[in-house]
Structure 1
Amino acid sequence: MRKNTSGPRFRALLEAANISTTDFAKFWGTEAQNVHNWYTRGVPAYRMEEVSRLLSVNSDWLKTGEGVKDIPRLHAPASNGDTFDAQAIRGVYTVVNPSDIDLSFFKEAPIANGGGKTEVILDPDQSIRLPRAHLDQLDIKHANAICAHMIGNSMAERIEDGSIVAIDRGLTQVVDGEIYAVEHEGMLRIKYLHRMPGNGLRMRSHNSAEYPDEVFRPAQIEEQRIHILGWVFWWSTLGKRRPVVPFL
């Protein structure tokens, strides 16, 4: 396994962009000391992709210093003559036709030899199409849109178990009461989020009778690897049962 030596490169990128440790920590929703620790320890593996995307560099280069620095891009002309950029990282999309966007699926999956631990990864066997106009209306960059399945009944009756949710990875700043996809120690969770004093975070389920609120202090957010994947802007709702046809 290649060693994570991203610390100096991460620091140099912030300095080149004139971003202070405090400003980056505030934007990220964590303590400045945590970001400062990354200068020596390196960017945590579970945040490498998101930090790389935010700083517009290749995640392999940030981690090891090897390979190309800039993010590879694909330039695919659509049938109407438009040209779209597709970043070769999380959130890759393809243009199906001028009015549809094909979004990638992500899923929670076991880590090999991880002792039952999971992680959120790309599912290459699934995708879903959404109207391009829907994303444009919400000012969502097409490359930032991904999909996942709702697992469990914590958001019932609003988002049923098994429903598909669409996520805007470009909006990770918490707006109180909005629904977000969260990676929590490798678990994919869909929750209402609320800010708490001192950079804390409250997770709230729609099915609050079975799932009480969860409150996390900044240190717990870091320790438990709570990472906001993005804002949930669309979901499908599956029927609970197939109706019985009478008189057959």
Structure 2
Amino acid sequence: MRKNTSGPRFKALLEAANISTTGFAKFWGTEAQNVHNWYTRGVPAYRMEEVSRLLSVNSEWLKTGEGTKEAPSLNQPASNGDSFDAHDPQGAYRFIHPNDIELAFFKETPLSNGSDKTHVIQDPDLSIRLLRAPLDQLEIRPADAICAHMIGNSMAERIEDGSIVAIDRGLTQVVDGEIYAIEHDGMLRIKYLHRMPGNGLRLRSHNSAEYPDEVFRPAQIEEQRIHILGWVFWWSTVSKRRPVVPFL
């Protein structure tokens, strides 16, 4: 495994963009000291992709200094104009038809066999097609859109257990009361998010009777590796039962 030497490059990128340590920390929702630590220790591995995407650089270059600095770009459309492949820092998506787009699936999976620790990664065996029009209407870049499964009944009556959710990784800044996908110490969670004074964060479930609010201070957000994956902009919910038609 290549050593993470991203600290100096991360600092240089902020300086080149005229972004202060305090300004970046405020945008990220963390303490300025944590950002200072990244200058020497490097950007944490679990934040590398999002920081790279935010700063428009190749995550491998940021981590190790190897490869091209520029983020991977879209390939040109095929000659018939119907489909093309494209790559972004966390995987690939494909346009199947001018009106459709195929989105990658992400899932929570153990770090290793027998481990009780998990992380969120792309599932190479799953994908879903959506109409492109809603993404265009919501100004969502196809490269930022991914899908995942809703697990559990914490959002019941709004998003049912087993539903598919679509996530915009381009919107990670918290807008109070909106639904977001987060990675919480390796666990994939879907919650309403609210900002709290002092850069804290409140997680709220739709099924609040069974799942009370959770409030995290900035230090806890860092310690528990709470990472906002993106805004949930679409979900599929299928009725759990077929209605019984009475005899006339």
Shorter-chain TM band: over 0.9
Question: Quick one: structure 1 residues 133 and 19, their matched pair in 2 at CA, closer, same or farther if it must change by over 3 Å?
Answer: same
Name which of structure 1's ranges 187-196 and 27-36 shifts more when overlaid on structure 2. Answer: 27-36
- The secondary structure found in structure 1 opposite 2:47 is helix
Q: How far apart, CA to CA, are the structure 1 residues paired with 2:227 and 2:241?
A: 34
Q: How far apart, CA to CA, are the structure 2 residues paired with 1:92 and 1:186?
A: 22
Structure 2 partner of 1:104: 104
Q: How far apart, CA to CA, are the structure 1 residues paired with 2:209 and 2:109?
A: 28
Quote the offset at 1:92 in angstroms: 3.0
Structure 1: unaligned runs, 5 residues or longer? none
Which runs of structure 2 are paired with 1:94-243 in the superposition (5 Å)? 94-112=94-112, 115-242=115-242
Deviations 1:40-88 (A, max 9, x none): 0100010001111111111111111112221222313167749988343
Amino acid across the alignment from 1:34: N
Structure 1 partner of 2:5: 5
Given that residues 80 and 98 in structure 1 are in contact (C-alpha distance below 8 angstroms), is that contact kept between their aligned partners in structure 2? no
Q: How far apart, CA to CA, are the structure 2 residues paired with 1:121 and 1:95?
A: 21
Question: Quick one: structure 1 residues 85 and 52, their matched pair in 2 at CA, closer, same or farther if it must change by over 3 Å?
Answer: farther
Quote the offset at 1:91 in angstroms: 5.8
Question: Quick one: structure 1 residues 82 and 9, their matched pair in 2 at CA, closer, same or farther if it must change by over 3 Å?
Answer: farther
Q: How far apart, CA to CA, are the structure 1 residues paired with 2:152 and 2:210?
A: 11
Q: How far apart, CA to CA, are the structure 2 residues paired with 1:76 and 1:203?
A: 41
Q: How far apart, CA to CA, are the structure 2 residues paired with 1:59 and 1:37?
A: 19
Amino acid across the alignment from 2:24: F
- The secondary structure found in structure 1 opposite 2:122 is strand
What is the root-mean-square deviation in Å for CA atoms of aligned residues? 2.0
Amino acid across the alignment from 1:216: F
Amino acid across the alignment from 1:95: F
Q: How far apart, CA to CA, are the structure 1 residues paired with 2:65 and 2:151?
A: 37
TM-score normalised per structure 2: 0.94
Given that residues 7 and 39 in structure 1 are in contact (C-alpha distance below 8 angstroms), is that contact kept between their aligned partners in structure 2? yes
Quote the offset at 1:126 in angstroms: 0.7
Name which of structure 1's ranges 75-84 and 18-27 shifts more when overlaid on structure 2. Answer: 75-84
Given that residues 180 and 191 in structure 2 are in contact (C-alpha distance below 8 angstroms), is that contact kept between their aligned partners in structure 1? yes
Deviations 1:125-144 (A, max 9, x none): 11111111100111111111
- The secondary structure found in structure 1 opposite 2:75 is strand
Q: How far apart, CA to CA, are the structure 2 residues paired with 1:221 and 1:143?
A: 27
Given that residues 91 and 144 in structure 1 are in contact (C-alpha distance below 8 angstroms), is that contact kept between their aligned partners in structure 2? no
Amino acid across the alignment from 1:230: G
Amino acid across the alignment from 1:177: G
Structure 2: unaligned runs, 5 residues or longer? none
Name which of structure 1's ranges 19-28 and 72-81 shifts more when overlaid on structure 2. Answer: 72-81
Given that residues 154 and 205 in structure 2 are in contact (C-alpha distance below 8 angstroms), is that contact kept between their aligned partners in structure 1? yes
Name which of structure 1's ranges 7-16 and 88-97 shifts more when overlaid on structure 2. Answer: 88-97
Number of residue equivalences: 247
Q: How far apart, CA to CA, are the structure 2 residues paired with 1:140 and 1:80?
A: 25
Q: How far apart, CA to CA, are the structure 1 residues paired with 2:83 and 2:105?
A: 23
Name which of structure 1's ranges 111-120 and 154-163 shifts more when overlaid on structure 2. Answer: 111-120
Structure 1 partner of 2:30: 30
Name which of structure 1's ranges 187-196 and 23-32 shifts more when overlaid on structure 2. Answer: 23-32
Q: How far apart, CA to CA, are the structure 2 residues paired with 1:131 and 1:91?
A: 20
TM-score normalised per structure 1: 0.94
Q: How far apart, CA to CA, are the structure 2 residues paired with 1:219 and 1:181?
A: 20
- The secondary structure found in structure 1 opposite 2:18 is coil
Quote the offset at 1:94 in angstroms: 1.1
- The secondary structure found in structure 2 opposite 1:188 is strand
Q: How far apart, CA to CA, are the structure 2 residues paired with 1:193 and 1:114?
A: 32
- Percentage identity across aligned positions? 83
Q: How far apart, CA to CA, are the structure 1 residues paired with 2:190 and 2:216?
A: 16
